[in-house]
Amino acid sequence: MVQQHTLSHTVVLEVSADDIWEVSKQLDEILRALEPEYFTKSTFIEGIAGEPGSIRLIKPGSGDPRYPYLKTIKVVGPGAVEGTSDAVWTVTYIAAGNAGPPESHKQMYISKCAK
């Protein structure tokens, strides 16, 4: 039986939501430069590129064969303190074999287990 797992993690970032949205306009180039095997193409499916509330669909490359299904949602909004942002990361994945959570999401897993 294939089991789907979901982890979520919230963090306060020491940068404004406006600054994050400004950088997100260049996210296509940034992701392809950092990890070209994981990110091949992204398209805005709702909203305008880089505008708050826009939704981007990222098509992965060959990625990691340990995770035949991996979906990440990142939501960023203004934080309670001026100049900060609240960021929520949620990942849903199916692991092949005995693979645990993806490396990039292990902190979420550790936080969930600690509760």
d(CA 15, CA 18): 8
- Where is average pLDDT lowest: 4-8, 20-24, 99-103? 99-103
Average pLDDT, stretch 68-77?
81
d(CA 89, CA 22): 19
For the chain, list the domains and their CATH numbers: 4-114 (3.30.530.20)
d(CA 86, CA 20): 11
More confident residue, 94 or 108: 94
d(CA 13, CA 58): 23
Q: What pLDDT digit, counting tens, does each position of 25-61 carry?
A: 777 777 777 777 667 777 777 877 667 677 777 776 6
Residue 38 is predicted with a pLDDT of: 67
More confident residue, 89 or 52: 89
